Amino acid sequence: MPQLQRLRPDHAPALLAFERDNRAYFAAHVPDRGDDYFTHFDARHRDLLAEQAAGICHFHLVVDDTGAILGRVNLVDVADHSAELGYRIAEKAAGQGLATSAVRRLCTLAAAQYGLTTLRAATTLDNAASQAVLARIGFTETGTTLLSGLPGLTYTLRLAPPAPTG
């Protein structure tokens, strides 16, 4: 079963390979990251780790038994017990329930470890698979938006507070 791992410095080579290998696939569903992302990947990776250390973002990778990265699930712009959810799954792992499983696990972490009570998400209008994942998790459609100039939908999920222990 794939693991959800918090982003670390040693993930950089595998993460870059994941992004390169899936670039065309991702660009068909979400706005492309652009060439600059790949040219300056190492600096960007360091910046992401610094944002994570500051608590303003929480980055996670979906990793298989061999250490290969199958996906990313991230919480960004953390403030006021709220964050924006983003995720992407490798083409070879798409359609197998991995996104739903990974997002569900991240929602649990968001409430239990990061103290979040609300998650926001957005998809382009033509990304039916992502919309289905959000619906399965319990996100509610809240409006429309533009994502890099493309029409999209916005969603919100209220997280249950962690159950008291003891």
CA angle 160, 98, 35 (to 5 degrees): 105
**Residue 67 Rama label (left phi>0; alpha psi -120 to 50; beta):** left
pLDDT, averaged in runs of 10, over the chain (166 residues): 94 94 87 84 95 97 94 97 96 94 96 96 92 97 91 95 63
Residue 162, pLDDT score? 60
User: Could you tell me the domains of the chain?
Assistant: 3-116 (3.40.630.30)
Q: Give pLDDT, residue 166.
A: 60
pLDDT value, residue 5? 97
- Residue 134 DSSP class: H
Q: pLDDT at position 165, please? A: 63
Q: What is the pLDDT at residue 149?
A: 85
Give the per-residue pLDDT at 80: 95
H or E segment to which residue 155 belongs: strand 150-158
